[in-house]
Structure 1
Amino acid sequence: MGTVMKVRIPTCYDKPGTSQLVQSTQNDNLVSIVLPTVHEVDLFTCFHPVFFHIQMLWELVLLGEALVVMAPSPAESSDTVLALVSCISPLRYCSDFRPYFTIHDSEFKEYTTRTQAPPSVILGVTNPFFAKTLQHWPHIIRIGDMKQAGETVKQMKVKKLKNLKTLDSKPGVYSAYKPFLNKDEDIIKQLQKQHTEVETVDLVLKLKDKLTQAEREQLPLRPGTLTKLQAHIDSVILSLPDDLQGILHKPSTP
């Protein structure tokens, strides 16, 4: 019949940082699970344009620094802000964050004033107007269109804030911050490799399902087409590590 979820929405009386489990009756036979968020984002996709600065961004979020994410759409702005908040997990981000901040928000004047230092908050914006009004913020992340799966990411240096003056500024990280930790190139390479393998496994599983569907429904294909496709799939599987090969060699669910 599907999945039944019993949800408890926090109230104004709940203490921040705590969670109340949903009380179930004897007949429910349910297991209570705390979901930190109902919206999980693909961290690799969100950080793709600034992937080589992931350690510095992790450090900035961990320290509660004021951050601005400038993105071309509300969806990309929101996803990137949520990805930043999630990147320090299992630690909890205790400062404020606004996945989609606009000029109509009540804190607009407070956040854009130059008479005081920016607060500890992560803002996600799309209005080009913010490129000027938030130029005094210490750390600005400029996100272009989200990259498609399989596209390579180019390594870019951290740019100076004074270069973020025009509305057509290039994507990148604009900051004068010097990280305490040295960049670990091995970790970055491993993350890239793992993500590529995950994408390959996902693609192979989809192709195997399509192949099984074609055989089951006896689609009108040229003789030998399915055999050739299966051979290509097998060659891709053989290029993967042994543990992934074991997963992919399992028969597809009919």
Structure 2
Amino acid sequence: MGLVMKLRIPTYRDKPGTTPIVQNMHQADAQISMALPTVHEVDLFRCFCPVFFHIQMLWELVLLGEPLVVMAPSPAESSETVLALVSCISPLKYCSDFRPYFTIHDSEFKEYTTRTQAPPSVILGVTNPFFAKTLQHWPHIIRIGDIKLPGEVPKQVKVKKLKNLKTLDSKPGVYTSYKPYLNKDEEIVKQLQKGVQQKRPTEAQSVILRRYFLELTESFIIPLERYVASLMPLQKCISPWKVRKYHLNELEMGN
């Protein structure tokens, strides 16, 4: 159509928040240059707005690899929410399975809906109201309504028990019996609420939220790193010559 688009396709090595979106239009040569972010680079605040007050608990569930179901009114909204959940533990990689848009035609449908065994470690995004009944036995269900740009302060909704998810027209919210290990962080809630009141751009809200998730993940990683480091020999004791000498001695003993 007379336009040349130059695209950088993201790879699995890309980390959320590191790929800038650049759009430069050159009218002279009718070319458009842009950089696509990683597929996990979704609008976090927009996705988590329906479950705004439970973001810390959701981070725990994703970190622990708990089975999660996201029930949304459209494939786009279910996909974005699932990808937002997967990316919230960055820089850790989510190593379990996740299906941004799961349907009754998927090959694992019987495996995921059976009640004879515990649900696997997977995050499902669904839209069919039929799943409200067939996945009712799953331990953690997130029900969201239409995702809209937040124009008002979200209302606080309590965590609901699974037994309340009986009808197809259940209200949006988080249905689980899970008790978080961490105390609820009121500061991040107040900060984001203030941003909504001051009409802070949703992009800026997402940056704040992503930084908060990053700090949570790092606070989880740092003690593990210190423990692993304590098991390693001192750096002054590590030498490639000692390793080579050790292998040579093994070869001589073998001969």
Secondary structure, in 3 states, of the residue corresponding to 2:201? helix
CA distance, structure 1, for counterparts of residue 14 and residue 125 of structure 2: 26
**Distance between the aligned counterparts of 1:200 and 1:69, measured in 2?**
22
Match of 1:161 in 2: 162
> Residue by residue, what CA displacement relative to the aligned partner does 1:162-183 show, whole Å, maximum 9, x if unpaired?
0001000000000000000010
What is the CA-CA distance between 1:41 and the residue it aligns to?
A: 1.2
Residues 39 and 87 of structure 1, relative CA distance in 2, 3 Å threshold: closer
Name segments (4+ residues, structure 1) moved above 2 Å.
1-10, 35-40, 191-198
Please name the residue that 1:57 is paired with: 58
Q: Does 1:185 align with 2:165?
A: no
**Backbone CA RMSD of aligned residues:** 2.8
State the alpha-carbon separation in 2 of the partners of residues 136 and 38 from structure 1: 30
For structure 1, the residue ranges without an aligned partner over 5 or more in a row are 11-16, 20-34, 203-254
Q: CA deviation at 1:161?
A: 0.2
In structure 1, what is the Cα distance between the partners aligned to 2:203 and 2:60? 31
Larger RCO, structure (CA 8 Å, separation 6 or more) = 2
Q: TM-score, normalised by structure 2?
A: 0.65
Between the aligned partners of 2:152 and 2:95, the Cα distance in structure 1 is 34
Q: How does 1:1-254 map to 2 (within 5 A)?
A: 4-5=6-7, 7=9, 37-38=38-39, 40-194=41-195, 196=198, 198-199=200-201
Deviations 1:43-86 (A, max 9, x none): 11111111000000000001000000000000100010001011
Q: What is the rounded CA distance, in whole Å, between the counterparts of 2:203 and 2:45 in structure 1?
A: 16
SS of structure 1 residue aligned to 2:141:
strand
CA separation of 1:6 and 1:72: change in aligned 2, threshold 3 A? closer
Q: Cα 1:36–1:200, aligned 2, differ >3 Å: closer, same or farther?
A: closer
Q: Per-residue CA shift, 1:10-39, capped at 9, x if unaligned?
A: 8xxxxxx899xxxxxxxxxxxxxxx88335
Decide whether aligned partners of structure 1 residues 4 and 80 sit closer, same or farther in structure 2, where only a CA change above 3 A counts. same
**How far off is 1:94 after superposition?**
0.8
Which segment drifts farther, 193-202 or 58-67?
193-202
CA spacing shift, 1:178–1:198, aligned 2, 3 Å: same
For 1:102 and 1:60, locate their aligned partners in 2 and report how far apart those are by CA, in whole Å.
23
Change (3 A) 1:167 1:201: closer
- Secondary structure in structure 2 of the residue aligned to 1:198: coil
- How big is the shift at 1:188? 1.4
**Normalising by the residue count of structure 1, what TM-score does the alignment of the two structures yield?**
0.65
Give the CA deviation at 1:116. 0.4
Partner-residue secondary structure (3-state), 1:188: helix
Deviates more, 1:171-180 or 1:90-99: 90-99
Alpha-carbon spacing, 1:129–1:201, altered in 2? closer, same or farther (3 Å): closer
| AA matched with 2:89 | I
Aligned partner of residue 124 in structure 1, secondary structure: strand
What is the CA–CA distance in structure 2 between the aligned matches of 1:177 and 1:37, rounded to whole Å?
A: 31
Tell me the CA shift for residue 149 of structure 1: 2.9
Looking at structure 2, the residues matched to 93 and 190 of structure 1 have their Cα atoms a distance apart, in angstroms, of 27
Question: Could you tell me which amino acid in structure 1 is paired with residue 53 of structure 2?
Answer: F
**Once the 2 structures are TM-superposed, how far is the Cα of residue 145 of structure 1 from its aligned partner?**
1.0
Distance 1:53 1:7, change over 3 A: closer
SS at match of 2:101: coil
Higher strand fraction: Structure 1 or Structure 2? 2
CA shift, 1:141, in A, is: 0.1
